[in-house]
């Protein structure tokens, strides 16, 4: 069975972290991705995704939510979060970083080999599937 490829994305939210700001930033960010990388979005429970229906209407990308207090449902997310903590320790204010810096940091986990992908990287997997 083919595993889905999960890609790390960091949003630049310099001021507002509310549902409208997250929807706008997420919509703009996924517009920069190749369509084969933007098939669905999995999110933790949180009010910042209160406008997920509008995001789905604007992008045609469905949003799935994990059950509350069920971190095992987000294994890849938890792993990615721990990788990103190398760059942003807990308590770091990511809003002080530029969008370019956030994109460069988000790219690091995407270029790291994953056992679940047969030691390919999330960046390599779509290319391999498209050229096969």
Average pLDDT of the segment spanning 34-45: 78
- State the Cα–Cα distance between residues 79 and 81, nearest whole angstrom: 5
pTM over 0.75: no
Q: Residue 42: helix, strand or coil by DSSP? A: strand
pLDDT of residue 1: 35
66 in the Ramachandran plot: left (φ > 0), alpha (ψ -120 to 50) or beta? beta
Average pLDDT of the segment spanning 25-43: 83
Average pLDDT of the segment spanning 2-21: 74
Residue bearing the bigger pLDDT, 102 or 53? 53
- State the Cα–Cα distance between residues 85 and 89, nearest whole angstrom: 5
Average pLDDT of the segment spanning 44-51: 83
Structure tokens at 92: 């770091």
pLDDT of residue 3: 45
Are 106 and 81 in contact by the 8 Å Cβ rule? The answer is no
Confidence band of 129 (pLDDT split at 50, 70, 90) = low
Confidence band of 20 (pLDDT split at 50, 70, 90) = very high
Average pLDDT of the segment spanning 7-22: 82
Average pLDDT of the segment spanning 11-15: 81
């Amino acid at each position: 069975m083919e595993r889905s490829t999960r890609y790390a994305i960091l949003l630049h939210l310099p001021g507002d972290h509310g549902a409208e700001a997250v929807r706008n930033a997420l919509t703009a960010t996924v517009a920069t991705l190749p369509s084969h990388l933007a098939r669905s979005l999995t999110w933790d429970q949180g009010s910042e995704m209160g406008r997920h229906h509008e995001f789905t209407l604007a992008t045609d990308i469905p949003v799935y939510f994990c059950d509350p207090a069920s971190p095992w449902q987000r294994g890849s997310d938890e792993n990615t979060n721990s990788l990103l903590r190398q760059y942003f320790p807990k308590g770091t204010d990511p809003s002080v970083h530029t969008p370019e810096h956030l994109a460069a940091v988000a790219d690091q986990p995407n270029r790291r080999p994953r056992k679940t992908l047969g030691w390919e990287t999330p960046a390599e997997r779509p290319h391999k599937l498209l050229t096969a």
